[in-house]
Amino acid sequence: MVKRKKVLLAMSGGVDSSVAALLLKRQGYEVMGVFMKNWSDTKNKITGECAWRDERAIALKIAVQLDIPFTTLDFEKEYKEQVVDEMFKLYKKGITPNPDVDCNQKIKFPLLWKAAKKLKADYIATGHYVRIKNNNLLRAKDESKDQSYFLYRISKEDLKHTLFPIGDYTKVQVREIAKKNKFPNSNKKGTVGICFIGKINLKEFLKKRIPQKKGKILDPEGKEIGEHDGIYYYTIGQRLGPRYGIDIDKSKFDDKRNISRWYVAKKNIKTNTIVAAPQGHEILFRKDITIKSFHLISEDVKKLKKSALKSIHVLSRIRQVGELLPSTLSFSKGKFKITLNNAITGVSEGQAIVLYQKQKVLGGGVITF
């Protein structure tokens, strides 16, 4: 009798990881479900209880329904130290980080695999919408749900022991499978917001550890047009106005000037000033992007540097399921750079830029100015 391969599956209580459990079991794997407890501060607005308890209860129901063992792993200490604390440090520097990328790189995949080896499992699995083919990471079949942007720091070694069961399915298909199998979470809304923390008012969240510090808002010509309450709370490309926490003084402009849509164009942490510009202003656009902490999934970065790289045509993405932007990757003067075919708005320091060739995820890095 052939021994079945054992898989440790991260079950969040959502429909995606639940269907992933079902698919793995159908494929003949011995599935073990695990709930990762990484954040207990978020509360259920109705009960006041920690939200993770509700999510774990749903995950447990699915595990019982599928007759698979289920356990809970507590990584809250590691998550707070390596993801949340780091996020606050970067915001204090005026940089907008991407905690979901850090979460996957530092917590989810390494700690899940460490637990899997202790349990003598052959693989780990998650409900991410991505695919693996020939040990390469590919975008999901459902482009609208593709999550490769958050996984660009995964390694080739990670791919050898990782499974993504729902990558070849659309979200509609996943929900249909859940309904047919009478899963209690078949219509559950997908999680949004920060990894494990959920949807929050980011500004209020940051205020807990970063005090307000008022400063000037300037127009592109350097004229003062308003006041902000903390440069850390705002990101490049963010719209300004009363609805968004900042009011621009309309009396500073001539009546003819368009003041309906203004956006953050630059931030200067030293002078504590924000430069804002009206929609369409040239200062909002950026074509050249420098990349730090550059990572390639299937290639060696050091070899690429030594290969006299002149330019490689790639597709770039600066936000999850954002537009795939035709661009050129180059290496010069010790830095990797992306030159976009067409300038875009909303390029923010600290955010991830992920590179693709067709469906393949090459890797990426952190945007720096």
- Phi-psi sector, 234: left (phi>0), alpha (psi -120 to 50), beta: beta
Active site residue 103: yes
How far is Cα 256 from Cα 249, in angstroms, rounded to an integer? 15
> Which residue in the list 10, 63, 125, 195 is annotated as catalytic?
195
Structure tokens at 4: 């079945």
For the question of residue 50 being annotated catalytic, the response is no
| Contact predicate 62/33, CB 8 Å | yes
**Who contacts 50 (Cβ-Cβ below 8 Å, separation ≥6)?**
40, 41, 42, 43, 44
Active-site residue, from 66, 103, 225, 329: 103
- Tokens representing 118 are 């202790």
Residues designated as active site: 103, 195
